[in-house]
Structure 1
């Protein structure tokens, strides 16, 4: 790309130049959060084809822009870092992209390396150095002139996608992340009033809610379009406070297309859509060749194991509940280190896909674990372990919870606990068992984590904890070797009860089991119960054993909840206990709440601690539980 006088002249420039005061259709093509697709010879090359097709079909000048998070994370990241996506994007010739949180995946210093290798500018309008200028390797803005239309491009990022999602010490680097709602409108004003641009497009790696906040903060309507990234949602073009906001999910699944009518130096109308990247779109040969060559070099297509069940690497699962793939990853970590407990952050499991049943390749593993994270074992007291687990609970009442629902945001092995996703509770992590034994707050435990967590990433309070072992082994390599040794895997799809969500408590209950008939529990239900789900009622051991209840009935007239469990199944659950011995169990009941709105969960959840006494002499007790807590 050639530049003259600060104006970019790209390959999409038209040979004919229209007068700026005549109506002109300016097409803005956008993509965001390519991430794991950058290492796959699939949707990314198809996206490249779609860009070229829509660029050629446009009735007027075209600009192509990105919404950040393009160079990571992806399966090639640990072996070739940012090179594959940058090579493909150089082939695309976009007009600008914005620095997102994953542009820092390879460290602060690598930003200047990939920006230098990029044949297009990376914008960071509100990320400035001590002189107030954009930090090394980035630019404050870009002005593109096409077909008589001058387009100003700015790049913005919020604190959530910088301080909240990276391990970069921006203060130590002499860099400040300024308020995007102030810097964005002010820069847009300068571009329109002093630089004479006709349209301003903000590339905002902030997520849609913050992109809308940016539009609302732009009181003088200088920002015409916000291309958002970061929260990876499908958001077809829509107008907020006179500004068009759009986002196309992630991983090259959509191309955004906006047609702006520019007249007399301003945008007077618009039309737009998201275009799906489907298998019907042919792959761009050059992009395919680039990706394939890097994959061959890294040997990502070697089969390492077979899975008999689908391995669930979806965000909707891994952020909100125990997943079978999260179990597999953390089991591999614990086996490799011999630790008591293993934890990995939900954000470290990528691709948002499901793998299998069938063959699993090394590339599949690196695609789901694309960061250059290594294994670290830290020593924590029981109290510190609880604090670490609690740091990841996102309450339903928080801003994030309002948008995405309650989150546990991690996957674990060797530990079993309950989590309460609400603000008005004393303990968000409780009833913790390690290796089947109650947690001792003062005892010490070896906890295997990835290096990102060990450095305090994702808000884990571990940066100052002593390390028992540090390896140079990538987490992805650990999992590949674990799978290779297993040969065939079949982690349970329904979960093992490692992380149990609880919204409300029932009274404690005592039951007697002899293997005959039914065990019946009665409770006074909490006031917010409207109905219960009998098919979502289970009894669990403090490990991973469970039985489904025969049914649960709620009597709205007197607020009574009755649960029935087959006594034979309950006896099998506590097998090993002698006559007269007791076994601690947990009862969980799904219910409809008059108070809680759920996202990603089918039901709210009740919990009762149950003490089961084993009788072998035929005596069986009917249970009357007390009032709800």
Structure 2
């Protein structure tokens, strides 16, 4: 247990260092990593991490324990051929003392866990995932006790429901496994290790994310857990003391190694020092690890160039969870073309690597790195009402717990459908103004919707598990995207306004579009508008074309907003409309709000629905504010 006495803990935010103990205790070094995932398929940071671990082992002033925080064996680009074997083969070279079962250890199914553990030369822990007799399930262990340099270290492995039922399609109850409350099982097992196993240090491997790791520390009333190695939310979280326990997370993808030096004296931790060490290109690659990875890569020619992109492809987590991305559009366009569906949807969590590719050459390995799961494309039949429910199931509101941590999220990417999402608990509809193929959605009509088989089975909370299946391609999603790119040779995907965030509404308005002059419209603004960012104002057509506003004026005293746009440019966005047609347009503009305190987005967003009457003959005045045209 961490005895602070007069010692000041958590000295610097960067290192989380504590004042070193001046006594004669043993210095135990704890090295940890987590969420290797896509790095397992690349001859880059993973082999460098192996070297760094060996270097820190060799330079340590005392015994060393190496542990993992889960999500090591997936997802990665080599999954289709090696499944868990590539990362496990490399980790066997590292020789960790223990790792914890995370949600991605279940990527290959529940039964495959015993194969993962059988191929591993180290134990996998699942302390709070127990069978009916209270034991760890097949292939896993409840705890691990390591005796190093006279210091006994007890290790437990914990996962929360978010990293089990929340992120897998495993029916744990049907498998005879109970997910115990980690905040109860963790402290109880730590106490048992101290009393019955006579350990000096307790380390909890918590595949829960940092907030839940901190909750674990708070629940550990007797301070029996000295260190909590977190995983799952992939944060860069240097060692820091919380409620008597040291919490650390080394981001993900072999980007960092967490190093914590514990001074152990008289059966307890008396002081500590720690930091995250970045894995840089200056660190040499471990040759054995590189050979393992490259041998697997050679089997599927992951280094072959398949296309060239003129725009950077955004596969970052933050972008794909929060908003439409050009890479999300490319993926879902490929899905819709492959299946000839009306709509395609993929979950943001299925797009991995957290990187940007291009401009330049794109390899097959790049695609498999971003789509590493063994998912196929499934076409379902949904009514319009079911499609709206499906899209709304992924909206994270700003006021929710997740929204307060990470900001409001749309959490998906789409093709063939356009909609507005209103990320607030008081919204009448989280998803509204839905259009499929440019036409307003009909609630009772049926639509063919292409998704990956993970979400077709109800993964990521999608309400799709009982919906009629039209087709399963039995082809990997990544393979479909590769073929889509090969057929095009050169691509330049853009963001097209498929998913529009809206915080507040302006009044509806009517305008006439005839291609001459200007269109000017004045609106009364909501009470929370403090200022408007004029260069964000744009008018969008149902087909995804948009025109930036020429001039925007907000009057704070009168609470009015005046927007002017070029009529000729607007006419080009509705060029297929006939004379006399009424076309729905949307105005969007960002603003500073006195009510909403955003976490991810810089500003709130206003929307006004514009009913535009098209005039193709002669000049006519817009039905807007005086002085239109």
Please state whether the residue corresponding to 1:109 is helix, strand or coil. coil
Corresponding position of 2:7:
none
Corresponding position of 2:8:
none
How many angstroms does 1:220 deviate by? 0.3
Corresponding position of 2:156:
154
Q: Deviations over 1:313-351 (max 9, x none)?
A: 000111111111111111111111100001111000000
Corresponding position of 1:359:
361
- 1:617 paired with 2:618, answer yes
Q: 2:288 aligns with which of 286, 289, 303?
A: 286
Corresponding position of 2:411:
409
Whole-Å separation in 2 of the counterparts to 1:330 and 1:505: 29
How many angstroms does 1:600 deviate by? 2.5
How many angstroms does 1:521 deviate by? 1.2
Whole-Å separation in 1 of the counterparts to 2:108 and 2:614: 57
Whole-Å separation in 2 of the counterparts to 1:602 and 1:291: 41
Corresponding position of 2:137:
135
Q: Deviations over 1:484-533 (max 9, x none)?
A: 111111111xx101111111111101112332332111111111111111
Corresponding position of 1:227:
229
- 1:244 paired with 2:246, answer yes
Corresponding position of 2:493:
491
Corresponding position of 2:575:
575
How many angstroms does 1:139 deviate by? 0.6
Please state whether the residue corresponding to 1:352 is helix, strand or coil. coil
Q: 2:326 aligns with which of 324, 347, 351?
A: 324
Pairs within 5 Å for 1:73-222: 73-222=75-224
Give the structure-2-normalised TM-score: 0.95
Whole-Å separation in 2 of the counterparts to 1:532 and 1:197: 60
Q: Deviations over 1:460-499 (max 9, x none)?
A: 111111110112100011001111111111111xx10111
Residue segments in structure 1 that go unaligned for 5+ positions in a row? 1-20
Deviates more, 1:567-576 or 1:386-395: 567-576
CA contact (8 A) 1:523 1:624 kept: no
Q: Deviations over 1:133-183 (max 9, x none)?
A: 111111111000111101110000000110100000000000011000000
How many angstroms does 1:624 deviate by? 4.3
Please state whether the residue corresponding to 1:160 is helix, strand or coil. helix
> CA RMSD of the aligned region, Å?
1.1
Q: Deviations over 1:68-114 (max 9, x none)?
A: 00000000012210000000000000000000000000000000001
Whole-Å separation in 2 of the counterparts to 1:572 and 1:498: 19
Please state whether the residue corresponding to 2:238 is helix, strand or coil. strand
Corresponding position of 1:335:
337
Please state whether the residue corresponding to 2:352 is helix, strand or coil. coil
Please state whether the residue corresponding to 1:319 is helix, strand or coil. helix
Whole-Å separation in 2 of the counterparts to 1:368 and 1:140: 33
Q: Deviations over 1:573-622 (max 9, x none)?
A: 22233333321100001111111122222221111100112333322135
Residue segments in structure 2 that go unaligned for 5+ positions in a row? 1-22
Whole-Å separation in 2 of the counterparts to 1:196 and 1:551: 73
Corresponding position of 2:536:
536
CA contact (8 A) 1:509 1:624 kept: no
Whole-Å separation in 1 of the counterparts to 2:337 and 2:64: 53
Q: Deviations over 1:351-379 (max 9, x none)?
A: 00111111111111110000000111010
Corresponding position of 2:64:
62
Whole-Å separation in 2 of the counterparts to 1:112 and 1:376: 29
How many angstroms does 1:301 deviate by? 1.2
Runs of 4+, deviation exceeding 6 Å = none
Q: Deviations over 1:203-260 (max 9, x none)?
A: 0000000000000000000000000000011110110011110111100000000011
Corresponding position of 1:5:
none
Corresponding position of 1:606:
606
Corresponding position of 1:38:
40
Paired residues, number:
603
Please state whether the residue corresponding to 2:418 is helix, strand or coil. strand
Give the structure-1-normalised TM-score: 0.95
Corresponding position of 1:344:
346
Whole-Å separation in 2 of the counterparts to 1:610 and 1:363: 45
